Structure 1
Amino acid sequence: MTDPLSDVIRLLRPRAIYSKGISGAGRWAVRYAEFGQPGFCAVTEGRCRLAVDGEEPVILEEGDFVLLPATPAFTMSGFEPAPVVRIDPATASPPDREVRHGRVDGPPDVRQFGGYFAFASPDADLLVSLLPRMIHIRGVPRLTQLVRLVGEEAARDDIGRDLILERLVEILLVEALRAAPTQEARPGLLRGLADPRIAVALRLVHGDVERAWTVPELARAAGMSRSAFFGRFTRTVGVRPMEYLLSWRMALAKTLLRNGDMALEEVARRIGYGSASTFSTAFSRHVGLPPGRFMRQAA
């Protein structure tokens, strides 16, 4: 069965960039500037406070995992008032040892393993918009184990390192997203896949992107009237059904064009357009430049 979530992650092409142990003791507080890249952490010991801009503050405890697909500004701290140390991850040099906040001696109050990675896809903003802004998961030990594996592999200088890191980060993302609570998630792909009727339509679109899908067809497959399906899809996923289909087709088209080894007519056929000219018009309107120029710039 087609898995839209895996499709999106494969298209995002995550790459591990940095991961490191972090601990805190006594009075401490750090404020990270907005970063935009995906960030993550797994708490391996103790507890601390996390306040992500635009989200309710949470207490992180041993075994918790947090994923921020686009890392907005956030503050992490202990539970006693402390001066805030400001950090800009875009300019700060990655440390070569565990990062320690607050009191430098004695046992830590909290220890975690965290870091960030990058999405190689230029469509990352579009695809990340379909994911929750903050994912906080409890009681999934596999995520902590995966984070440790990412850190261990990143520290090695061995053959196959980059390939292993790519696969580990992909697995980490899939595990995190499928374990994420969806009841209170904002509209997006996860909420859509959690809705049995809307999930049918999403899987059909991803499973046969060449087909000339219509809203009535997708509604029938979901067992709903056209108007009920249209409203439910829009509320749940955050975009109208045909907008989602167009965005997904164009994201696939960009990937095919960047590879540079496929004729325009074949690209058009692969994503459901009857002719290269029809595809070129739609692509130019959506992307802002014609496919040929996009392909040359990508090369």
Structure 2
Amino acid sequence: MDLLSSVLREVRLESAAYRLLELRAPWRLRFDGGLRGVHVVACGRCVLRLDGEPPRDLGAGDLVVLPQADAHELGSVGSAGRPALSSLDLARRTPGTRLAAGGAGELTTVVCGAFTFGDGDHPAVAGFPRCVHVPAVDGQPPGWVAGVTGALLAEARDGGPGSEVVMARLSDALVTRALRHHLQTADEPGWLRGLHDPHVARALAAVHADLAAPWTVSALARAAGLSRAAFARRFTATVGQPPMQYLYGTRMRRAMTLLRAEHATAAGVASRVGYASEASFAVAFTRHTGCPPGAWRRRSRSRTAAAGAGPPSSPAPPVTAEGALARRW
């Protein structure tokens, strides 16, 4: 399995139902964050305003994926000074999946959805970009975008029994392909750029294939086919953090996942994430989370039980995008 697929399985990508927005100028919608968003401009044009970044002009056929769940706005051209309508308020007052807003001007149709990561603190997620923009060419999206979004649009308009499942599976494919597009075209530092660099990708693949190995910078450099100094510089510049910091974060996230399992012992988890002793693992884990492994496990299970998810010994249920969408969108 390729590394992108492996990591997306680790972070547990889940997509939610989509809604079809029919918007006539002037209009301005605010998405307050908390969900990782997907927007497909089916027709018309609009402006994406991501907090802290310059506005992006979007047109028919454009796809935008927001992997970091950042607050943002969509609006008609020239709407910057208008009051923004909350997308959540619009959804609450409109039954069904087709939502309408705005005035009497130019029509823009946007298919909007959301997705979650079951492990949003995974080190790879921190390295995802804030915005993945797959632009259309002369109003025509790339073939893979057209195929998937056409099916999504049909489900959003005409959905029947099983429609949410269909849209979730289509969205999984759309998000994955968008991340692959960014991997192949972007040049800013991040985990996806690391996959595009053949030397760094070999090191990343080695780490994820055998997290328990006694990795050092020198050992990872050998896996990458570079000298130690050249590898350290290249990894840091490409991924955005030093190799051992990435390794440490990856091991701790895996340890937290394993500790949630009912029968995993601290000693067993230690050996599976590359620590020679339970004591050294406990020190590293406490540094990362602020409490020892046993206390962290008890706290995690207490939170699960308090939330009504079952007895303290039960593993935590997955976070579903459908539930998140119902609460926030």
Give the TM-score of the pair, scaled to structure 1.
0.85
The 8 Å contact of residues 52 and 72 in structure 1, kept in 2 or not, is answered as yes
In structure 1, the partner of 2:275 is 273
Unpaired stretches in structure 2, ≥5 consecutive residues? 136-140, 302-329
In structure 2, the partner of 1:5 is 4
In structure 2, the partner of 1:63 is 61
The 8 Å contact of residues 233 and 240 in structure 1, kept in 2 or not, is answered as yes
The 8 Å contact of residues 20 and 109 in structure 2, kept in 1 or not, is answered as yes
Aligned residues: 292
Distance 2:224 2:249 in 1: 21
After TM superposition, the structure 1 = structure 2 runs for residues 215-294 of structure 1, keeping only pairs within 5 Å, are: 215-294=217-296
In structure 1, the partner of 2:312 is none
**Is structure 2 residue 132 aligned with structure 1 residue 135?**
yes
The 8 Å contact of residues 40 and 64 in structure 2, kept in 1 or not, is answered as yes
Distance 2:39 2:11 in 1: 20
Aligned identity (percent) is 35
Displacement after TM superposition at 1:93 (Å): 4.3
Quickly say closer, same or farther: Cα 1:101–1:166, change in 2 above 3 A: closer
Deviates more, 1:55-64 or 1:90-99: 90-99
Distance 2:183 2:214 in 1: 33
Distance 2:243 2:115 in 1: 30
Distance 1:82 1:161 in 2: 33
Distance 2:175 2:193 in 1: 16
Quickly say closer, same or farther: Cα 1:263–1:89, change in 2 above 3 A: farther
- 2:259 is matched by which residue type in structure 1? L
Distance 2:161 2:298 in 1: 34
Displacement after TM superposition at 1:216 (Å): 1.1
Distance 1:228 1:140 in 2: 37
Give secondary structure in 2 for the equivalent of 1:269.
helix
Distance 2:149 2:293 in 1: 39
- 2:200 is matched by which residue type in structure 1? I
Displacement after TM superposition at 1:205 (Å): 0.8
In structure 1, the partner of 2:318 is none
In structure 2, the partner of 1:100 is 100
- 2:284 is matched by which residue type in structure 1? A
The 8 Å contact of residues 40 and 111 in structure 2, kept in 1 or not, is answered as yes
In structure 2, the partner of 1:180 is 182
In structure 1, the partner of 2:121 is 123
Deviates more, 1:172-181 or 1:81-90: 81-90
Displacement after TM superposition at 1:233 (Å): 0.6
In structure 1, the partner of 2:323 is none
The 8 Å contact of residues 260 and 295 in structure 1, kept in 2 or not, is answered as no
Where has structure 1 moved over 6 Å in runs of 4 or more? none
Distance 2:80 2:112 in 1: 22
Distance 1:212 1:140 in 2: 43
CA RMSD of aligned residues (A): 2.9
The 8 Å contact of residues 28 and 82 in structure 1, kept in 2 or not, is answered as no
Distance 1:181 1:61 in 2: 22
Unpaired stretches in structure 1, ≥5 consecutive residues? none
Displacement after TM superposition at 1:179 (Å): 1.3
- 1:98 is matched by which residue type in structure 2? R
Displacement after TM superposition at 1:280 (Å): 1.4
- 1:102 is matched by which residue type in structure 2? G
Quickly say closer, same or farther: Cα 1:169–1:211, change in 2 above 3 A: farther
Deviation track 1:186-224 (CA, whole Å, cap 9, x = no partner) reads 321111111111111111111111101111121122222
Displacement after TM superposition at 1:297 (Å): 2.1
In structure 1, the partner of 2:34 is 36
Deviates more, 1:285-294 or 1:233-242: 285-294
The 8 Å contact of residues 33 and 86 in structure 1, kept in 2 or not, is answered as no
Quickly say closer, same or farther: Cα 1:169–1:295, change in 2 above 3 A: farther
Distance 1:114 1:294 in 2: 37
In structure 2, the partner of 1:16 is 15
The 8 Å contact of residues 43 and 65 in structure 1, kept in 2 or not, is answered as yes
- 2:9 is matched by which residue type in structure 1? R
